[in-house]
Amino acid sequence: MAAKKASETFSKSMIEDVHKWGCLKQTGVSLRYMMEFGSKPNERNLLISAQFLHKELPIRIARRTIELENLPYGLSHKPAVLKVRDWYLDSFRDLRTFPDIKNMNDEKTFTDMIKAIKVRHNNVVPTMALGVQQLKKGMDPKIVYEDLDEIHQFLDRFYMSRIGIRMLIGQHVELHNPHPAPHCVGYIDTKMSPVEVARNASEDARSICCREYGSAPDVHIYGDPDFTFPYVPAHLHLMVFELVKNSLRAVQERSMDSDKVTPPIRIIVADGLEDVTIKVSDEGGGIARSGLPKIFTYLYSTARNPLDEDADVGISDNVTMAGYGYGLPICRLYARYFGGDLQIISMEGYGTDAYLHLSRLGDSQEPLP
């Protein structure tokens, strides 16, 4: 099937509108601002929030749409990427055709619409991964994928922007929850215990490991369970889950043919003045130094690819122990979104330490790619 340009499926005036909005300046929001603004979810604040999103979301979505049209190596024309581009254009059109938000009835209708936009974009990550797979299949095998800098930089910008869009929509929608959990302001838990989140994420990762291998190494967690700080538990869960999952797989595969006792994974939670740092340590054999630069690229995974070209990505949502090489780079983006970072230190022949730094100040603005 020939790739359709956006101009063939969407009106000329809308495409011009996308380019106009894509040139406008984005407005970043800090964790602290989201927390303070959302702590009083009265009608006035919900209205202000909806009016802000009505102007901000089309700018962010337009920027990504323009990039999706202009990717190198023919990536823009891959069927999976065209599907993602159409989702972005549909969402842009929904936002731009929505009238000005003047009262709470408008606000409610708008909230329902952005909720639907969030659902529409649920499968963006696996679908883009499929597009990259389609590109890799047709490329000269001699090309070193790690050198495809333009694609890596695009995917970093694209996914960072997606994290921001989903955070803003989710935060606004959650402020309508009539029965929020204690200490919660939208998605933000003002008294989040990193030890507790790490424990839950580790249990989830271990259950997947058991499903795949029949058993799972133990996970030992060290840190003060009563220590809390404001953060987004869903983000931290995702990051720790991914890191522990990688460690479990490495340890499990290394010790499968060994008679020795399987070494545990260790998680240490430390609270500093600026950062909360979570270290995930394993004795899974480590990563060769030559392989370290590859672990944060989107085109590399040591595991078989769980994406099937012929499968409809909309149907299957199974989590596997190893993915399409997206776990670590996306983890690092989640950490950086609120001013943190992720570092991997490895000892080949022994194991790997992942240091997840989370800013506890909450002052840094969203990165706006």
Q: What is the DSSP letter of 208?
A: H
The string of pLDDT tens digits covering residues 97-116 is 999 999 999 999 999 999 99
**Percent of the chain's residues with pLDDT above 90:** 72
Q: Above 50 in pLDDT, residue 70?
A: yes
Q: Which one has a higher pLDDT value, 133 or 361? A: 133
Instruction: Map tokens 């790619």 to a residue.
Output: 369
Assign a CATH topology to domain 12-182: Butyryl-CoA Dehydrogenase, subunit A; domain 3 (1.20.140)
Instruction: Map tokens 């950062």 to a residue.
Output: 275
Task: Kindly calculate the radius of gyration of the chain based on its CA atoms and give it in whole angstroms.
Answer: 21
Q: Above 80 in pLDDT, residue 177?
A: yes
What DSSP letter does each residue of 16-35 carry, written as one string?
HHHHHHHTSPP---BHHHHH
Q: Above 60 in pLDDT, residue 126?
A: yes
Mean predicted confidence (pLDDT) in 311-323: 46
pLDDT at position 317, please?
44
Alpha carbons within 13 angstroms on the beta-carbon side of residue 111 total 19
For the domain 193-359, what is the CATH code?
Answer: 3.30.565.10
pLDDT at position 161, please?
96
Query: Rounded distance, CA 124 to CA 80, Å?
Result: 9
Residue 177, φ and ψ in degrees, nearest 5: -65, 120
Average pLDDT over the chain, rounded to an integer: 89
pLDDT at position 248, please?
97
Mean predicted confidence (pLDDT) in 221-242: 96
Q: Above 50 in pLDDT, residue 315?
A: no
Q: What is the DSSP letter of 365?
A: B
pLDDT at position 73, please?
86
The string of pLDDT tens digits covering residues 129-167 is 899 888 888 777 666 655 578 888 999 999 999 999 999
| 300 touches 326 (CB < 8 A) | no
Q: Above 80 in pLDDT, residue 47?
A: yes
pLDDT at position 267, please?
98
Domains 12-182 and 193-359 belong to one CATH topology: no
Instruction: Map tokens 């950490």 to a residue.
Output: 335
Q: Which of 158, 179, 161 is CA-nearest to residue 169?
A: 161
Q: Which one has a higher pLDDT value, 319 or 118? A: 118
pLDDT at position 137, please?
81
**Would the pTM of this model clear 0.85, i.e. be above it?**
yes
pLDDT at position 257, please?
76
Q: Above 50 in pLDDT, residue 310?
A: no
pLDDT at position 245, please?
95
pLDDT at position 312, please?
45
229 DSSP β-pair partners: 192
pLDDT band at 5 (very low <50, low <70, confident <90, very high): low
Domain ranges for the chain, please list them: 12-182, 193-359
| 333 touches 160 (CB < 8 A) | yes
pLDDT at position 366, please?
85
Query: Rounded distance, CA 136 to CA 309, Å?
Result: 12
| 337 touches 31 (CB < 8 A) | no
What are the structure tokens assigned to 11, written together?
């009106």
| 183 touches 193 (CB < 8 A) | no
| 234 touches 184 (CB < 8 A) | no
pLDDT band at 238 (very low <50, low <70, confident <90, very high): very high
Q: Which of 317, 323, 356, 321 is CA-nearest to residue 340?
A: 356
pLDDT at position 6, please?
59
β-pairing, 219-222 vs 184-185, is unpaired
Residues whose CB is less than 8 angstroms from the CB of residue 96 and which lie 6 or more positions away in sequence, other chains included: 14, 17, 21, 58
